Structure 1
């Protein structure tokens, strides 16, 4: 759960944040909702269309934007926040100023969305003094200067590491981890190509274990990727980007066009967790058995790539593990893959058995040696207990060779039955990361 004051949001399903700019100069909708009555009407319309949160912004942060006086930002936002909160709407305040954040939280805002990433100690103090949810964004410099320096050696790694540090510092200030959401900030101190690379690798941020926001709506990188010059014409492409971001593991979707986004997100495919194992090297020189086992798992991963309506989202490192249950056999090499798939669980199981058979698996001894083992550990929002298939996998949390690799790529994973990832019940298959 992402905890935002009195609101809790289940991270397993997309959370739509509708954008409400009460500004005269925002890049795509400035001046459209300046009057409080117009702003409130538009916000309520976004809620009707499927928005779970309304993000109120009183200062444009487009490239080159000048800072707005605090008094003016307060005048634009506090009354709108108070009225929407009074009407039962979960409100986020989009600001980089602690005074505005405090006033809007006092008026009922449940989330502080800070484009400057809580770099200001006063903003950290404001966050620590309340129980609002927090959106921590990456931006180089300030809006007026952020496009002056867009140099990165590795934009994905640098943004990931920055956000990890900022979140860690917030936690060190006494802020609960479950309040924190991360936003990579596409377009903020980044070229369109850098933003595109960043948004195509959101799984790297998801590995940090916090909710992740995808905020592609009408951004310049969307225009770059889809060849659309006018920001107002980018809504369909932005919705497609929102869907892709959620498939990669993002949870919160910030958007101007809630209706188009909600429609696109109906195509979000379930997330399946697949555990891979091998301890019989078919072809290996003496001393190279581990490498041969890894090669066979890579062949299985390659076969997963060929499944219809299925995409691999993330894959853990390889781990070497002790045999479990039947101990008189060689060590295993294991990994965990996350896939988005439109294949139903029992049909998916059939595909996995076909991959195992193609790689020479022979089922002679229960839990015995095998050239390839593919198990469905979890299938999002699906629970089953039949002779053919039990989900979530009933032994997943007692197996170190499942818990460790899954923890690497989804530290706070929640299973379909509501249980959460933990090593408290691990008993078998002690695993060590090997690469």
Structure 2
């Protein structure tokens, strides 16, 4: 995959007890939100029973990882750390053994507890705004996703402005990676995410996606969280619920630009798009071959 991915720092990793070689495969991360106000599912999996059903369905559909969220990044009502833990811990426990478990949180105290409960990934959309997050992950076996954003989570940030958005995102991520390393996070624990749509308008996100290789060149596995986001809706004039074709196009494009983890809502469709892309890149054998075979 060298043509499509830059050399990776510690391409071979053990995450959540499972071995990955990101030079040879792409991980599909499913999204399960225990929130009443997520931008896509609008509370569909807020009830614990619905969330655990969604975890099982994602695993059956082929998800490699399952990302569990208790508080959205977008502006909304305050949720305490204890309430966030009450939302996510039962789902973390329900997902054990089904896939690698990730928790989408910006709170170090939540990260510590979910790691104890078996989470293999902490997905910090605040980009180490609280450096104690690095301290919470250092010394554990958990991976840490460092995401570009400008505002505090749950905080409005209208009219974000950049000079060169891709260069600024890459610079931010390089600085935060250095900060994580200074606080004891090991290189093989780090994953980077350019933060599609987070404090970015559609033009910004399209530009970052077009030049995603510059972010991948940082050298840590790159996560692309593009699923059903507004840059797709605004580009194609499609509301939530009608963005799957645009999402799949963005997923495949990001893989070709170096993404190694893709975060998605529609798991089965995304898994098939990702596995087909891997096969076309020569990384995966067909499930079977009969057509024109001797």
**Common fold, TM-score beyond 0.5?**
yes
User: Counterpart of 2:121?
Assistant: 111
Q: What is the Cα-based RMSD across aligned positions, in Å? A: 1.8
Aligned length: 272
Which structure has the greater CA radius of gyration? 1
User: Counterpart of 1:67?
Assistant: 78
Deviation for aligned residue 1:35: 2.1
Deviation for aligned residue 1:79: 1.2
Kindly provide the CA deviation profile for residues 307-327 of structure 1, in whole angstroms up to 9, marking residues without a partner as x: xxxxxxxxxxxxxxxxxxxxx
Query: 5 Å matches for 1:10-409?
Result: 10-11=21-22, 12-62=24-74, 64-85=75-96, 87-228=97-238, 230-268=239-277, 381=283
Kindly provide the CA deviation profile for residues 62-119 of structure 1, in whole angstroms up to 9, marking residues without a partner as x: 2x2333111111110011101211x443100000111111111111100000000122
8 A contact 1:155–1:198 mirrored in 2: yes
What SS class does the counterpart of residue 227 from structure 2 fall into?
coil
What SS class does the counterpart of residue 90 from structure 2 fall into?
helix
8 A contact 1:146–1:188 mirrored in 2: no
**Unmatched 5+ residue regions in structure 2?**
1-11, 285-294
Distance in 2 of aligned mates of 1:245 and 1:153? 23
What SS class does the counterpart of residue 192 from structure 2 fall into?
strand
Deviation for aligned residue 1:57: 0.1
Q: Which fold has the larger relative contact order, with Cα–Cα distance below 8 Å and residues 6 or more apart in sequence? A: 2
8 A contact 2:16–2:100 mirrored in 1: no
8 A contact 2:63–2:99 mirrored in 1: no
8 A contact 1:196–1:225 mirrored in 2: no
8 A contact 1:91–1:108 mirrored in 2: yes
Cα pair distance change 1:83/1:156, threshold 3 Å: same
Distance in 1 of aligned mates of 2:144 and 2:100? 13
TM-score, length-normalised on structure 2?
0.87
8 A contact 1:139–1:188 mirrored in 2: yes
TM-score, length-normalised on structure 1?
0.60
Cα pair distance change 1:3/1:136, threshold 3 Å: farther
Distance in 2 of aligned mates of 1:60 and 1:177? 27
Distance in 2 of aligned mates of 1:381 and 1:256? 24
8 A contact 1:74–1:100 mirrored in 2: yes
Deviation for aligned residue 1:170: 1.0
Deviation for aligned residue 1:263: 2.1
8 A contact 2:127–2:176 mirrored in 1: yes
Kindly provide the CA deviation profile for residues 198-252 of structure 1, in whole angstroms up to 9, marking residues without a partner as x: 1111100111111001110010001122221x12211221111101100111000
Kindly provide the CA deviation profile for residues 169-199 of structure 1, in whole angstroms up to 9, marking residues without a partner as x: 1112221111111100011110111011111
Deviation for aligned residue 1:61: 1.5
